[in-house]
């Protein structure tokens, strides 16, 4: 009976130790990328391996991603707005008329933003922007 009582007390004390709470670390918020909040103007466009300077139709194209997950983009001189989501280097832009653009940030430094873009027709372009 005494051995049985010692075994029960041992099991009970192990169970109590197993239930101690571990303090969780405060969640670190990743800093916003440097391209957020800037207006980026198109510098060059690469499609099908051919790099071109902006044409008269695209010379005023721009991209602006705002801190509140809204965006403004001008493509072929037509301005479009909407909301975006970001996960790592991937961005998904959803326009107000529900068109989706899938972007991957290839380079993000102070004076250059290079993104790869899949438009709704699934054509991939590499776009180089400067502030």
Would 17 be classed as within a structural domain? no
Would 75 be classed as within a structural domain? yes
Would 58 be classed as within a structural domain? yes
Residue 59 contacts residue 74 (beta carbons within 8 Å): no
Would 104 be classed as within a structural domain? yes
DSSP 75: E
Would 43 be classed as within a structural domain? yes
Provide the pLDDT for residue 130. Answer: 94
Would 19 be classed as within a structural domain? no
Provide the pLDDT for residue 122. Answer: 84
pLDDT 10s digit of each residue in the chain, 131 long? 566 556 556 565 655 565 555 566 665 555 678 889 999 999 999 999 999 999 999 999 999 999 999 999 999 889 999 999 999 899 999 999 988 989 999 999 889 999 999 877 888 999 999 99
Residue 90 lies in domain: 39-130
Q: How far apart are CA 81 and CA 97, in angstroms?
A: 9
Q: What's CA 106's distance to the chain center, in Å?
A: 12
Provide the pLDDT for residue 23. Answer: 62
Return the CATH number at 69.
Answer: 2.40.128.20
Provide the pLDDT for residue 125. Answer: 93
Residue 81 contacts residue 70 (beta carbons within 8 Å): yes
Provide the pLDDT for residue 19. Answer: 59
Would 112 be classed as within a structural domain? yes
Q: How far apart are CA 61 and CA 129, in angstroms?
A: 9
Structural domain count of the chain: 1
User: 0.75 exceeded by the pTM?
Assistant: no
| b/e code 27-36 from CB counts within 10 Å (16+ = b) | eeeeeeeebb
């Amino acid at each position: 009976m005494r051995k049985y009582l010692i075994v029960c007390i041992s099991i009970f004390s192990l169970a109590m130790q197993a239930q101690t709470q571990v303090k969780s670390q405060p969640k670190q918020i990743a800093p916003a990328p440097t391209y957020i909040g800037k207006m980026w103007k198109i510098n060059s466009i690469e499609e099908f391996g051919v790099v071109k300077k902006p044409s008269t139709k695209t010379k005023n194209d721009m991209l602006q991603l705002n801190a509140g997950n809204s965006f403004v983009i001008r493509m072929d001189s037509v301005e479009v707005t909407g909301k975006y989501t970001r996960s790592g280097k991937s961005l998904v832009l959803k326009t107000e008329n529900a068109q989706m653009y899938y972007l991957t940030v290839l380079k993000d430094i102070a004076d250059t933003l290079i993104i790869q873009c899949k438009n709704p027709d699934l054509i991939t372009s590499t776009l180089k922007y400067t502030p």
